[in-house]
Amino acid sequence: MAAREGQAVLAAMLQTTTVDLFRSYGISVAPLTPTHLDAKRLATQDLMAMISFTSTAMNGGLGLYVPKAVFELVRQDPTRPFSGSAWVQESVNQLLGRIKARLLQFRVTLQLGLPSVLLPRDFAMITAQSTLIVYRFRTLRGEVVLSAHGRFDCSALDYSSKVSLMNEGDIIVF
């Protein structure tokens, strides 16, 4: 696949996966035009997490920034509430897991790291990197931001319809 075409496929994958994930939480998000992120706008009470990934075609990190007001929309069991930091870590983990599943159709196998919570100063260091790709999403209560940084060889994406993918919720017998 040509590099430009591969970049478009990867961008569409990142955006649709983010929309799907937030839909599973009952939160509507709409992609905005990609732009540079001003890290100074990040509020210290908002939620940020990052997870690393590696493969032969790409390696780097995926970041997720969610305003606290958006987190408050997440449905919770009142008898077992969870914290915003745990939620944003699990969300970035699920997001990258879904991207990993989609990349399998393009013969790219990602190895995932462990998600970690970021402080605004950590996020500011990441946003200063030259390889940063930023996707913004509008919600009723603020903007969700997805960032990806690292090395992306989009020409290595090679679509195959023969790859059998599991669906979320499928049972795998070992």
pLDDT at 121: 72
Between strands 133-139 and 30-31, the pairing is: antiparallel
What are the beta bridge partners of residue 51?
A: 62
pLDDT at 110: 94
pLDDT in tens, the chain (174 residues): 788 898 899 999 999 999 999 999 999 999 998 766 666 665 566 899 999 999 999 999 999 999 999 999 998 888 888 889 999 999 999 999 999 999 999 999 999 999 999 876 776 677 666 678 889 999 999 999 998 988 999 888 888 877 666 666 666 564
**116 near 47, Cβ under 8 Å?**
no
pLDDT at 139: 94
**73 near 127, Cβ under 8 Å?**
no
pLDDT at 146: 92
d(CA 101, CA 167): 9
- Give the closest residue to 21 by CA, choosing from 92, 100, 115: 92
Enter the pTM of the model: 0.85
pLDDT at 38: 61
Can you give the residue ranges of every domain in the chain? Answer: 3-156
CA atoms within 13 A on the CB side of 77: 2
pLDDT at 117: 92
**CATH number of this structure's domain 3-156:** 3.40.1550.10
